Amino acid sequence: MTRDLFRVLYDEATALAVDVFEHGHADHPCAYLVRDAYADANGEVPHGWPGTWRQHWQMPETYWGEIERDPPVAFVGINPSIEVAQACPRHGASFDAWFDFYRNRIGPRGVLRGITSSAPPLYGFYSSAVRRALGDEADVHTHALICDAVHYKSRKPGDNKERLRAAIDHATSAPLSLALIRHAGCRVVVLAGQHAIEALAPALGVEEMPHAMSDIVGRWFEGENGLRIVPSYHSWSLRNASVIGRAIAFALRGEPINVVHQPAHDRITEADVLALMEERGLSVTRERKAWRVVDGRFGRRVCWQRHARGLPTWIEFGGFTIPHVAVRPVAGNGRIEGRIDCATVERSVAIEILARAFDAL
C-alpha cells in the first residue's frame, strides 16, 4: 500500500518538472516550489539550466524510517530543504530507486548511511527525542517516521500563506503524509515548527491550541482517532530534544503534563576553551570587544563570543568543517562552516567538538 501511495507522487513530479523547466509554466500548487528551489535572487533560473535541468533537479522526498517496524512516533515538518550538491535521486530515476532511497537512508542517532559528512543536526535532534521518550535501546530509524507536509524540496516554503496553504492541501502533500502516518500506525505525531503546527494540527483533529509556541511546546494535544499531537520547535537543541522526548513519553502513556520542565545542562566555559588551547600550545591571536579569535593555517580560525560570567554564547569555525560531528551550520559569509550554540549544547559534547577544531587548526 505504501508504494501505491507514493507512485502517484512519482508520476506527478516527473511530469511537473518537465512543465516547469521546459514549458515555463505549470498549473499546479507546488510548481513555485519546484522552480524556486533553483531560482536566483531575482527569481530567474540560471542560464543554461533548460538544457541541463534533468541532471540537477532533485525529486521530492518520500519518508525516512523503517515503516515495517510499526513506529509509534511520526515527525512532520513543512517541506524538505535542498542542498544543490546532495547525492539523491534526480529526474529520470526509476520509481524503485527513488522510493527506496530515503526510507533506507537514516541510521542510528540520526546519521545518514553511506555518507562521511556530519549527521544532519535536525535528525540528531529527532534521535535524542526518541531515546529520551523510549529509552536508549530505541532510535529514530527504528521507532519513528519522518516526513513532511509538502514533499517537494525548496530553500524556503515561502511567505505567501495562501500559496503555501494551496500546496499543503494538494492531494500529494499533507493528505498523502497523513495517509502514510495512519498506515504506519503512529500514535504520536510531532509537528516540527510553527508552519507545520498551524497547517497540520487542525487536519489532525486538534480542536483548540494556544497560539504562542511557549504555551504549547512541551505538551501534547488530543487529535482524531486516538492520535496525540506534540508541537515542537524546528530545532536541533539538546535541551529542546529532552523537552519534546518527555512530551512524547507522556503522550504515549496518555498522561497529562501540568508543568513543562526546561532542564538545565552543564555549559562549556571560557576556562574550558583556554585549557584546550593551552594543551595544544595555542593562544588568542585577535581580540575584539566581545570576541576572541584563534587563527590557524590556510585561513582557518576558531572564535567565540565572550560573556561576562565566563560562559561563551557561540563558538564558530571558519575555513573548515569538523567531520562526523553535528554542529549548527551557518550560511551567509562563506567562511563560517559551523557554530556551537553554547546555551543548548552539553559541555562534554562542546568540548569534544572544540578539541577537534583546535586539532584541525
Q: Among residues 219, 253, 287, which one ends one of the domains? A: 253
pTM above 0.85, yes or no: no
Beta-carbon contacts of 226 under 8 Å, excluding residues fewer than 6 positions away, are 187
- CATH classification of the domain holding 86: 3.40.470.10
Q: Is residue 258 part of a domain?
A: no
The letter for the amino acid at 270 is E
Establish if 261 belongs to a structural domain: no
DSSP-derived 3-state class of residue 29 = coil
Q: 24 lies in a domain?
A: yes
Hey, what's the cell of 261? 520542565
What is the total count of domains within the chain? 2
Collapsed DSSP state (helix, strand, coil) of residue 44: coil
pLDDT tens by residue, 245-277 = 999 999 999 998 876 655 556 788 888 899 898
Q: What is the mean pLDDT of residues 5-12?
A: 95
Query: 31 with 94, same domain?
Result: yes
pLDDT confidence of 334, banded at 50, 70, 90?
Answer: very low
Cβ-based neighbour number of residue 118 at 10 Å: 20
Confidence of residue 331 (pLDDT cuts 50, 70, 90): very low
Work out the pLDDT band at 335, boundaries 50, 70, 90: very low
Between 5-9, 119-123, 351-355, the lowest mean confidence (pLDDT) is in: 119-123
Asked if pLDDT for residue 336 goes beyond 60, the answer is no
Rounded Cα gap, residues 122 and 125, in angstroms: 5
Strands (E), the chain: 73-77, 144-148, 188-192, 221-222, 228-232, 286-287, 291-295, 301-305, 314-318, 336-341
Q: What is the DSSP string of 45-62?
A: PPTTHHHHHHHHPBPPP-
**Does 43 reside within a domain?**
yes
- Supply the range of the domain harboring residue 295: 270-360
Q: Is the domain of 227 the same as that of 307?
A: no
Domain match, 91 and 211 both: yes
pLDDT in tens, 55-105: 888 999 999 888 888 899 999 999 888 776 677 899 999 999 999 888 878
154-203 pLDDT per residue, tens: 877 766 788 889 999 999 999 999 999 999 999 999 999 888 998 899 99
205 or 326, higher pLDDT: 205
356, three cell numbers: 577537534
Indicate if 187 and 75 belong to the same structural domain: yes
Written as nine digits, the cell of 71 is: 513506529
Note whether 208 and 350 are same-domain residues: no
In a 3-state reduction of DSSP, which class is residue 218?
coil
Helices (H) and strands (E) in the chain, counts: 13, 10
What is the Cα–Cα distance from 170 to 46, expressed in whole angstroms? 28
Indicate if 241 and 285 belong to the same structural domain.
no
Q: Over range 304-312, report the average pLDDT.
A: 75
